[in-house]
Amino acid sequence: MNTFKALNIPGGRAICYSGFRQGQSPGLVYPTYDQVKEDLLILRDGGWKYLRLFDVDPHAMTVMKVIKNEKLDFKIMLSAYIGAEMNNFNCPWGGGVYSEEQLVQNTLENQVKIMRLIDWANAWQDIIFSVSVGNEACVDWTDHYVPVSKVVHYVQKVRNQISQPVTFCENYAPWLFKLEKLARAVDFISIHTYPVWEYKNIAESLNYTKENYQSVSRKYPGKPIIITEAGWATHSNGRGIDPQNASEEYQKIYFEKLMEWADKEGVLTFFFEAFDEPWKGSPDPMEPEKHWGLFKRDRKPKLAMRNTKSKNN
């Protein structure tokens, strides 16, 4: 299925964008207008059309203001990042357990975010082409678990009050065995696929991503399915990713093969991600969470971007 046609949007390249730089992080210090403008001009010159944002926060608002004020030709998938409403004792790094008071507070904050998502989707209809009610909140290893029934409730609440299509972004695996009710509720399914996290080498990478996509497609025939995260880390300290599998050369190979397949099949695919984010993961500078960008934290292009038309090459 050509997902561009299914979503009634023109074809184009898509990328996950989170512009936090050195010394910045969500909830504390946000990128400035000029910093976001610099980022979006880099992405515009690189030929990107669709941006995926992760939360209804000051960063997202700045992005939308820059797009409007600078008359940039981007369309946004806007997400609400919903926090844990239930403990997940299976979280491998132990981050999924909270006090009852914190869970109650998270639930209240989630409700506020869902209402903000609705408000912003209605206020910025010319920029926001779709919305997601959460990100990786149902997978077994998440540190911010939300019951599937509650996610369905959020989807239904949002769908009743906006005109754009509504989705939920999640690893491909839960869609195969536990998200059937949610799949019926959303307008389209959004999956994440990371071969390098699942110990696949570069020679196996594209086939593995295609298998992930096709397995979900077979389970939900006729349902539009897009990829909202697929990427390749360029450094690793060995935490979950073999350092020998993480490099700019391998990222370039995966990026080019993935984009060729996505273009050929008409699958809207958000590459993860635009820029390296130093706030992520552990303090170790080689932590893989910090090194998924197609551009380094100083905005210099990595190998995959050096053959594009970006003026920053």
Calculate what percentage of the chain has a pLDDT beyond 70. 98
Give φ, ψ of 12 to 5 degrees.
Answer: 170, 160
Distance in angstroms (rounded) separating the CA atoms of residues 144 and 74 = 30
Q: What is the pLDDT of residue 312?
A: 35
DSSP assignment of the chain: --HHHHTT----EEEE-----TT-BTTTB---HHHHHHHHHHHHHTTEEEEE---SSHHHHHHHHHHHHTT---EEEEE-----SS--TT-TTS-----HHHHHHHHHHHHHHHHHHHHHHHHTTTTEEEEEEEES-SSTT-SS---HHHHHHHHHHHHTT-SS-EEEEEEHHHHHHT-HHHHHHSSSEEEE--GGGGT--HHHHHHHHHHHHHHHHHHSTTS-EEEEEE---S---SSSS-GGG--HHHHHHHHHHHHHHHHHHT--EEES-SB--TTSSSS-TT-GGG---SB-TTS-B-GGGTTS--TT-
Say which residue the tokens 């897009």 belong to.
Answer: 226
Q: What is the pLDDT of residue 115?
A: 98
Tell me the residue type at 218: R
Which residues on neighbouring strands pair with residue 190, listed in sequence order? 169, 226
Does domain 3-305 correspond to CATH entry 3.40.190.10? no
Tell me the residue type at 307: N
Calculate what percentage of the chain has a pLDDT beyond 90. 97
State the pLDDT confidence band at 313, using cuts at 50, 70 and 90: very low
Taking only the tens place, the pLDDT of each residue in 29-71 is 999 999 999 999 999 999 999 999 999 999 999 999 999 999 9
State the pLDDT confidence band at 308, using cuts at 50, 70 and 90: low
| Total residue count of the chain as it appears in this document | 313
Of 169, 163, 162, which is closest to residue 188 (Cα–Cα)? Answer: 169
The most distant pair of C-alpha atoms in the chain lies apart, rounded to whole Å, by 52
Taking only the tens place, the pLDDT of each residue in 70-126 is 999 999 999 999 999 999 999 999 899 999 999 999 999 999 999 999 999 999 999
Q: What is the pLDDT of residue 311?
A: 36
Indicate whether 149 pLDDT > 60: yes
Q: What's the chain's average pLDDT?
A: 96
State the pLDDT confidence band at 307, using cuts at 50, 70 and 90: confident
Distance in angstroms (rounded) separating the CA atoms of residues 160 and 255 = 37
State the pLDDT confidence band at 147, using cuts at 50, 70 and 90: very high
Instruction: Count CB atoms within 10 A of the CB of residue 257.
Output: 16
Indicate whether 309 pLDDT > 60: no
Taking only the tens place, the pLDDT of each residue in 224-267 is 999 999 999 999 999 999 999 999 999 999 999 999 999 999 99
Domain boundaries, the chain: 3-305
Of 58, 78, 20, which is closest to residue 276 (Cα–Cα)? Answer: 20
Distance in angstroms (rounded) separating the CA atoms of residues 203 and 205 = 6
